[in-house]
Amino acid sequence: MESERVKNFVSKFFESLQCEVNFKGGVLFVKNVPESFEKFCGRKGSYKFAFEKGVASSEIEVLSSGSFLLKSINDYLDGRGQTTLLKINFNPEIKEELEKKILLRNCKITNITKKHQNNFFLRFSFITTFQYLNDKKQVLTNVFVKDGKIIDFDLEKYEILEGKKRDVAFENVQEFYKLAKNKLNFLLEEKVQEVSQNLSKILDKEIKRVKQHYETHIQEFSGSLEKLKNKLKGLEMKEGEEDKILKIKKDIINLKNNPELEKLKKEEEFCIKDEIQKHSLDIKTRLMNTTIIYYPVYSCDVFFKNEENARIVHFEFDPLEKKSSDFFCDSCNLKLDEIILCSSGHLTCRNCGERCESCNEIFCNICLKKVCAQCGKKICEKCAVRCSKCGKFKCKSHVKIMEFSGDAVCESCLKRCSYCGGLFDLDSLKIDSASGKDVCFKCLSKEVGEKTLKDIFKD
Ligand SMILES: [Zn+2]
Ligand SMILES: [Zn+2]
Ligand SMILES: [Zn+2]
Ligand SMILES: [Zn+2]
Ligand SMILES: [Zn+2]
Ligand SMILES: [Zn+2]
């Protein structure tokens, strides 16, 4: 029983120092002992401990109450307020995290630049001693405080490294101590109540036992007293017994004032007080260690790219909380669960993303604004051409680039030459006075030339 208690206490103590603790074949192996404790007890780690005498060897030390090492542990605990730095080792693949969160529809991630800063939280390790019935029980309790709140946390789930002082910019530890202490009291309340209730039950029994014990002795007196009183009554009925009556009355007074009876009553009182004292619960709590725990929070630039366009988007990732920043549609601000890169590099949701009816590329609301004045199709900036004559935007297919001027002219602003069938803008066609038809400059000058020649050779 005793050895079990020592074993639990010692292993919990080294666990709270973040040592590697293993129990195998009756031997407790303790590795990675922090320098602060090695120095304190003057012994280098690792350690091997046993708790039953049979297991001892030159390497294995048997610990029992009174051992030097147990004393060292208690002294170390008395030193209180030691601060330890621990780092949670995270090295996440940001790309994997991104791919868990979003679907890449028409682009790839080509590069991620990763920066980090440290987030901090605290662990307060308290040791509470319950003392009652000549027995001592010690309980180690860890309370974690993060962002000014108590949190549930299991350090064992993570890979832990020894922290470096230069990484830590955390000073107001004291501010959170009170919070942790209140939580500790709350956590201990149940245990305290349980122990107190047990104790008061045992105490009630003990008091009853004491009272019963003294009652039998005291009853002996009252029994004798009763007998004397009855005898007296009998004598008083008769005559001439004055001497005897006087003697019995004397005996009664003596019995009532008997110092033995007084002594018994005092003894009883003392025993009850002693039992109350023995069954009282004494609780002492001390802060054994404060640990500053930190871990990296990432801030990244993510490069989304497809053949045509690229876009850099900021991304934050907290690997402990498993929280990350979101992506939003550049047009309507909706949260995205997929990445569609608009052909101008905007992020777009399905509602805002549409295909250009001319080139079939995906565009967002901002980029797919033009409507062809001729066929009514929604077209992108690249596919829309402005007619230099009427000023309207139209699909490329409806527009011709003029040979000489290089101007863009739409079909509505073009007409065919009645003679050669070529397309010309309306301004370039002339009406042939002879036929009354629209004729291009070339055909017109040819016609005029022929006519002139005809006129010359007419005579
Ligand atoms: Zn949208
Ligand atoms: Zn287009
Ligand atoms: Zn766009
Ligand atoms: Zn036009
Ligand atoms: Zn069109
Ligand atoms: Zn022509």
- The domains of the chain are located at 1-79, 385-457
At 383 the pLDDT is 92
| CA 297 to centroid of ligand 1, rounded, Å | 29
Q: Which of 344, 293, 2, 330 is nearest to 158 (CA)?
A: 293
Environment of ion ligand 6 (residues, CB < 5 A): 417, 419-420, 440, 443
| CA 400 to centroid of ligand 4, rounded, Å | 10
Instruction: Give the integer Cα–Cα distance in Å for 102 and 95.
Output: 10
Does residue 324 surpass a pLDDT of 60? yes
Higher per-residue pLDDT: 56 or 208: 208
Nearest ligand, measured from the Cα of 384: 2
Over the stretch 124-180, which tens digit does the pLDDT of each residue have? 988 888 888 878 888 888 999 999 899 999 888 898 888 888 887 766 777 899 999
Highest mean pLDDT among 166-170, 255-259, 344-348: 344-348
Nearest ligand, measured from the Cα of 440: 6
| CA 367 to centroid of ligand 3, rounded, Å | 4
| CA 363 to centroid of ligand 3, rounded, Å | 5
Task: State mean pLDDT over 400-424.
Answer: 88
| CA 373 to centroid of ligand 2, rounded, Å | 15
Does residue 325 surpass a pLDDT of 90? yes
Peptide bond into 46 cis (omega under 30): yes
Does residue 459 surpass a pLDDT of 60? no
At 278 the pLDDT is 86
126 CB-near residues (< 8 Å, 6+ apart): 140, 141, 142, 143, 180, 181, 184, 285, 286, 287, 288
| CA 426 to centroid of ligand 4, rounded, Å | 10
At 379 the pLDDT is 94
| CA 366 to centroid of ligand 5, rounded, Å | 20
| CA 95 to centroid of ligand 3, rounded, Å | 24
- Where does residue 77 rank: exposed (0-12), middle (13-18), buried (19+ CB within 10 A)? buried
Instruction: Give the integer Cα–Cα distance in Å for 413 and 401.
Output: 12
Nearest ligand, measured from the Cα of 383: 2
At 170 the pLDDT is 65
CA 160, 164, 168, 171 torsion-angle sign:
positive
Integer angstrom CA distances of residue 4 from 10, 19, 36:
10, 20, 27
| CA 394 to centroid of ligand 5, rounded, Å | 5
Cα within 13 Å of Cα(224), Cβ side: 15
Residue 17's pLDDT band (cuts 50, 70, 90): confident
Does residue 299 surpass a pLDDT of 80? yes
| CA 359 to centroid of ligand 2, rounded, Å | 4
Task: State mean pLDDT over 196-216.
Answer: 92
At 36 the pLDDT is 77
Does residue 233 surpass a pLDDT of 90? no
Higher per-residue pLDDT: 84 or 345: 345
Task: State mean pLDDT over 103-117.
Answer: 93
Environment of ion ligand 3 (residues, CB < 5 A): 342, 344, 346, 364, 366-367
Instruction: Give the integer Cα–Cα distance in Å for 41 and 14.
Output: 13
| CA 416 to centroid of ligand 6, rounded, Å | 8
| Topology (CATH) of 385-457 | Cysteine Rich Protein (2.10.110)
| CA 165 to centroid of ligand 6, rounded, Å | 88
Are 303 and 112 a contacting pair, CB within 8 Å?
yes
Does residue 362 surpass a pLDDT of 80? yes
Nearest ligand, measured from the Cα of 418: 6
At 265 the pLDDT is 87
| CA 362 to centroid of ligand 4, rounded, Å | 27
Amino acid at 252: I
| CA 388 to centroid of ligand 5, rounded, Å | 16
Nearest ligand, measured from the Cα of 397: 5
Does residue 57 surpass a pLDDT of 80? no
